[in-house]
Chains A and B, each alone.
Chain A
Amino acid sequence: MLEIKNLHASVEGEDIEILKGVNLKVNAGEIHAIMGPNGSGKSTLAKVVSGHPEYEVTEGEILFNGEGITELDADERAHMGLFLAFQYPVEVPGITNKTLLREAYNTIARANDREELDPLEFEDYITEKLDVIEMKDQFLSRSINTGFSGGEKKKNEIFQMAVLNPVLSFLDETDSGLDIDALKVVSEGVNKIANDKNAIVMITHYQRLLNYIKPDHVHVMMGGKLIKSGGFELAEELEANGYDALEKELVLNGEAQ
């Protein structure tokens, strides 16, 4: 589904390289976790894949279902089924959740020659999806993320994901700032959305999210590269020994720069 080959990226207009050759392959039905210390490039990877204009791909490619997408705008990538749950969801006063989601849903439907939903049909559809994150329907008529608590903002991201039904979702530190109850709701929501046709890449600093959403593959990112991949046991190892131990081990083996 997603294939990232030797991806290098910098901040647009600046000479500082943040991604320094990322390789990653994600298949349908898989859940991946990318872990790493602060500043390792995890969030940048998610933004570059979703088409953030602040970054420039300087080398390598991103293939989505076999098609190169590095030249596409963020909305075109969304139309293909890419989704990013933001680490810091943006507040947009004056536009309700429902307005944004109907516009988004129908724009994506149009781009894929699927039928659009009229306001009434959409109301039914969206109300059903509220169950995914256990929210009341007032949530729909509130302005996007405006005055939301940290937990509500993250729930809103997962709710949007449920409504837009993407093929591949990047969840950027969706667990940060969540108390244990909210974490459970959000995780259960993600688990309800996950199926054998879609894929999820979670980006996180801590293992605690992975106790609720079991990844098939765990990758460690450091210095703008995925330096080690493995199964769930890799996450446990990191939690026990920390990133420093892993870094030392790789240096000893001559694998790190």
Chain B
Amino acid sequence: MSEVIQRDTMLSYITGSVESSAESVAIRAINERGREDLEKTPFPTRKDEDWRFVDLKSITKSQFCKLEEANAAAVGDISEHYLPEAMNCRLVFVNGVYNEELSSVEDLPNNVIVGNLAANADNNSVKEHLGTITNYDDDVFAPFNDAAFTDGAFIYVPEETVVRTPIHILNVFTDAEKAFYATPRLLYVGEMFSKSTIIEEHIGLADNQYLNVPVTEFKMFTGSNVHHARIQRDSKKASHVSRPIAILDKNAEYHSYTICLGAKLFRNDPRVIQNAEEVNFTVDGLVLIDGDQIADTHSIMDHRFAHAGSHQLHKVVVNDSAHSVFNGKIFVAKDAQKIDSFQENRNLLLSENGKVNTKPQLEIFADDVLCSHGATIGQLQDEEVFYLQSRGLTEQKSRELLVYAFALESVESMEVESVEKLLLNEVIEYTNRDEK
């Protein structure tokens, strides 16, 4: 008899059991499925191809408890984080728990739903789509969210309806005595020819350690259109592992922009799956990291039918001994002709100890497609700095302006003015930290 080597599972780093307390039968069923997946799936190590560049010790060297056991601080005034454009269209989750008092949803078009999942558990769209879109094989994080979530955000936009106000999903995390885990969840259902803008934010209010494992599911019916901005400003000690996925019917458009500023460890696996012909999508990213931050993006753009246009611009600035990983997969199935897909990964290294791994991965089985990719890693050119300096700008200001210019393109895609402003301030703050 051979001895079976028992590998750790996700549950090895979780104290206590992940027992479901969800009231909804539908959610409990997903919890159950998640637990089964978790028990049989080993926790990744660097021997796994998808994890070989990532140091996971900020998770494996810790134990994370349920929020109830963490003695977390109450949330104070967080109004500085509200978006003026979305004053009446905001859902707030504190440490992953829905906070009705801080949320505000008013004046939405008829039949649009912006609310929490638990309260909408009987909604047909929730019953039909929740938990059906995530599709991460051999993964432990999506199943962990599946196993542990009891609530989340639910957005439903009916046919032919345009929501002009951006919808703000604000996840904040407070200080706590113990490291805890949170499993934010978002289900978006866009019916035929609907349109909206979603701003999904994760903000660490203190400097504490926690594990944030969000799952977002976007079901995009024919002709629907979404602009999805994700801004990650978790605590610098937090670990954030994201599983955002979208599935697109005919003529649907899904444009996502992920901004990574916070967290000690950030791992993001955005996936867009084409479910019919003629779709358009974007999977952009902007990463600004320093200190010993790790930011890893493993994306999949999955073209399964003909006539898709897709685009990915992933920009990264690395300072100090921070480490960025990018693995961009573009799949084109055998009969998915006339695909026009473009991927670009641009990295700016500001320090000697910073590290960048980049790997474009194109797997194309159709023969009439236009797919291209490019990856660059560079530093600020001395000649550029001198040019600006010779015009009177200080060296610091010159460097700041050049990093700002590098990041600008990504920030300008936000479409919501206050978010652009917020991000530009973050960029300036980031470049100023370089002053030391």
Interface string of B361-403 (1 = CB under 8 A from A): 0000000000000000000011110111111111101100110
Of the four ranges (under 10, 10 to 19, 20 to 34, 35 or more), the interface on chain B belongs to 20 to 34
Is B18 located at the chain interface by the 8 A CB criterion?
A: no
> Contact: A104 with B393, CB < 8 Å?
yes
> Contact: B390 with A51, CB < 8 Å?
yes
Q: How far is the CA of A119 from the CA of B404 in the complex (A)?
A: 19
> What residue in chain A is nearest B392 (Cβ atoms)?
A78
Is A79 located at the chain interface by the 8 A CB criterion?
A: yes
B409 partner, pick from A50, A54, A84, A94, beta carbons under 8 A = A94
> Contact: B404 with A94, CB < 8 Å?
yes
B389 partner, pick from A75, A95, A105, A164, beta carbons under 8 A = A75
Residues in B with CB closer than 8 Å to A160 are 391
Residues in A with CB closer than 8 Å to B392 are 75, 78-79, 104-105, 107-108, 111, 164
Q: Given A103-B397, A107-B394: A94 and B406 within 8 A (CB)?
A: yes
Residues in A with CB closer than 8 Å to B398 are 75
Residues in B with CB closer than 8 Å to A164 are 391-392
Residues in A with CB closer than 8 Å to B406 are 94
Is A231 located at the chain interface by the 8 A CB criterion?
A: no
Is A147 located at the chain interface by the 8 A CB criterion?
A: no
Of the four ranges (under 10, 10 to 19, 20 to 34, 35 or more), the interface on chain A belongs to 20 to 34
> Contact: B409 with A74, CB < 8 Å?
no
A107 partner, pick from B387, B393, B402, beta carbons under 8 A = B393
Q: How far is the CB of B288 from chain A (nearest CB, A)?
A: 15
Q: How far is the CA of A78 from the CA of B394 in the complex (A)?
A: 10
Q: Which of A42-80 contact B (CB under 8 A)?
A: 50-54, 73-75, 77-79
Q: Given A92-B402, A94-B409: A100 and B390 within 8 A (CB)?
A: no
Q: Which of A82-116 contact B (CB under 8 A)?
A: 83-84, 86, 89-90, 92-95, 99-101, 103-105, 107-108, 111
> Contact: B395 with A73, CB < 8 Å?
yes
> Contact: B383 with A90, CB < 8 Å?
yes
Q: How far is the CA of A50 from the CA of B388 in the complex (A)?
A: 12
Q: Which of B378-436 contact A (CB under 8 A)?
A: 381-384, 386-395, 397-398, 401-402, 404-406, 408-409
> Contact: A75 with B408, CB < 8 Å?
no
Q: How far is the CA of A50 from the CA of B408 in the complex (A)?
A: 30
Q: Given A74-B386, A90-B383, A92-B387: A103 and B405 within 8 A (CB)?
A: no
Residues in A with CB closer than 8 Å to B408 are 94
Q: How far is the CA of A53 from the CA of B65 in the complex (A)?
A: 54
> What residue in chain B is nearest A74 (Cβ atoms)?
B389
> What residue in chain B is nearest A145 (Cβ atoms)?
B387
Q: How far is the CA of A172 from the CA of B387 in the complex (A)?
A: 13
Q: How far is the CB of A160 from chain B (nearest CB, A)?
A: 7
> What residue in chain B is nearest A47 (Cβ atoms)?
B386
Q: How far is the CA of A54 from the CA of B385 in the complex (A)?
A: 12
> Contact: A73 with B389, CB < 8 Å?
yes
Q: How far is the CA of A84 from the CA of B409 in the complex (A)?
A: 29
Residues in B with CB closer than 8 Å to A143 are 405
Residues in A with CB closer than 8 Å to B386 are 52-54, 74
Q: How far is the CA of A8 from the CA of B401 in the complex (A)?
A: 33
> Contact: B409 with A92, CB < 8 Å?
no
Q: How far is the CA of A79 from the CA of B384 in the complex (A)?
A: 18
Q: How far is the CA of A92 from the CA of B391 in the complex (A)?
A: 13
Q: How far is the CA of A78 from the CA of B392 in the complex (A)?
A: 5
Q: How far is the CA of A84 from the CA of B398 in the complex (A)?
A: 16
Q: Given A95-B401, A95-B405, A103-B401: A90 and B393 within 8 A (CB)?
A: no
> What residue in chain B is nearest A95 (Cβ atoms)?
B405
Residues in B with CB closer than 8 Å to A73 are 389, 394-395
> Contact: A53 with B405, CB < 8 Å?
no
Q: How far is the CA of A77 from the CA of B386 in the complex (A)?
A: 12
Q: How far is the CA of A257 from the CA of B302 in the complex (A)?
A: 70
> What residue in chain B is nearest A99 (Cβ atoms)?
B401
Residues in A with CB closer than 8 Å to B393 are 75, 100, 103-104, 107
> What residue in chain B is nearest A160 (Cβ atoms)?
B391
Q: How far is the CA of A90 from the CA of B406 in the complex (A)?
A: 15
Residues in A with CB closer than 8 Å to B404 are 94-95
Interface string of A147-167 (1 = CB under 8 A from B): 000000000000010001000
Of the listed residues B387, B394, B401, B404, the one surrounded by the most CB atoms of chain A closer than 10 A to its CB is B387
Residues in B with CB closer than 8 Å to A74 are 386, 389-390
> What residue in chain B is nearest A81 (Cβ atoms)?
B392
Residues in A with CB closer than 8 Å to B401 are 92, 95, 99-100, 103
B390 partner, pick from A54, A78, A99, A105, beta carbons under 8 A = A78
Q: How far is the CA of A83 from the CA of B386 in the complex (A)?
A: 12
> What residue in chain B is nearest A75 (Cβ atoms)?
B389
Residues in B with CB closer than 8 Å to A89 are 387
> Contact: A92 with B394, CB < 8 Å?
no
Q: How far is the CB of B45 from chain A (nearest CB, A)?
A: 40
> What residue in chain A is nearest B402 (Cβ atoms)?
A92
Q: How far is the CB of A40 from chain B (nearest CB, A)?
A: 21
Interface string of A16-47 (1 = CB under 8 A from B): 00000000000000000000000000000000
Q: How far is the CA of A63 from the CA of B279 in the complex (A)?
A: 66
> Contact: A78 with B397, CB < 8 Å?
no
Q: Given A92-B405, A93-B405, A94-B406: A75 and B383 within 8 A (CB)?
A: no
> Contact: A92 with B384, CB < 8 Å?
yes
> What residue in chain B is nearest A79 (Cβ atoms)?
B392
Q: How far is the CB of B128 from chain A (nearest CB, A)?
A: 44
A78 partner, pick from B391, B402, B405, B409, beta carbons under 8 A = B391
Q: How far is the CA of A77 from the CA of B391 in the complex (A)?
A: 9
- Ordered by A's residue number, 11 sampled pairs between the chains whose C-beta atoms are within 8 Å are A54-B382, A75-B389, A75-B390, A75-B394, A78-B389, A78-B392, A90-B384, A92-B384, A94-B409, A100-B401, A107-B394
Q: Which residue numbers of B lie inside 8 Å of A, CB to CB?
A: 381-384, 386-395, 397-398, 401-402, 404-406, 408-409
**Known pairs A89-B387, A107-B394, A143-B405 / 14 extra A-B pairs, C-beta < 8 Å:** A51-B389, A73-B394, A78-B392, A86-B390, A90-B381, A92-B388, A94-B404, A100-B391, A100-B393, A100-B401, A103-B397, A103-B401, A104-B393, A105-B392
Q: Which residue numbers of A lie inside 8 Å of B, CB to CB?
A: 50-54, 73-75, 77-79, 83-84, 86, 89-90, 92-95, 99-101, 103-105, 107-108, 111, 143, 160, 164
**4 closest Cβ contacts across the A-B interface?**
A94-B405, A78-B392, A90-B387, A104-B391
